[in-house]
Structure 1
């Protein structure tokens, strides 16, 4: 299977290659395109504009012309995947869709952590739309100060900050902690009080399980 991933952070290429290795998916042809300018544009605009959604969707459709599956790994731009599927030659998936589906089946308190402010609203909407356990209670939080470290190139500090927020959520009674953005995945290996759900593994499993359109 030819899988193309669209990222908005260069460092996510290694994150997804590592997740593919751990899941035993390296026999698939996985290629990557990184467009940090798309996320930067969303941050400047305060979120995903109609114009940026259209631009991203057109890019996804172009990528689908030479792939069997396309995976959008940016949570801020997630809605572009829905638009792209209206005219795409291959299925386009957003990486956090499967993450939300799995998380919301957990009974109890579900705390979803985001690092980028523009991701808060689309992430909350996605998780609220997922089929949920009758006893599930959702809270979406911003990890203050994390994204500044990421943009400064301090990836270790970024992941430590996210891990500390995840540990705090567990100590406060969370039954499930979710790291909403793909760039946060490495923090799951640094937590001390629980193991959060991460999107790269969930997203890649969903990609290979997705039937033909």
Structure 2
């Protein structure tokens, strides 16, 4: 789930978890009324993604978020893109210790050695995944939960229980077996939410139906 800590003075409805914006529309609570966070909520979070570069970026940034708020990562995203070759994993896989040291001096990102090294390692593992499955998208989407395994309704109470699922646990386990790091079940579920593998916008959120329609129309990538 995106950062649940209060992000602004705007307050959610205590029963529905919805927050009414200045435009009169109701949205999931967690963007807190902040303009950049609301933009992310409306235009990115939950929309289905099949582009490998974006998927690699998303899973790496979710790893950097560990122990932090997503808002912190979102506001440093351009810095991360500059530091990590726009998350073109073919290039990141070639990074050396000199690049690690460069990143550690970069105030535009989260300067955490193990997470920086993890991003480089995961880029190398991403190349292996692409060779095996044809694309990262084909691999990740193969873990999409079946409809019968999803909650019947994503209300506020249900949403707050979705820290990890059987599918995110299985994906996390397989990634770790393949040598990936900073991909625990909770991190992986946040990734699944952000890249549209699940639609966890609340019932009544102005984005939920549009995203569900996009998911219905989305052609799932398959192993090539």
Normalising by the residue count of structure 1, what TM-score does the alignment of the two structures yield?
A: 0.29
Find the structure with the greater CA-based Rg.
2
From the two aligned structures, give the one with the greater strand fraction. 1
Larger relative contact order (CA 8 Å, sep ≥ 6): 2
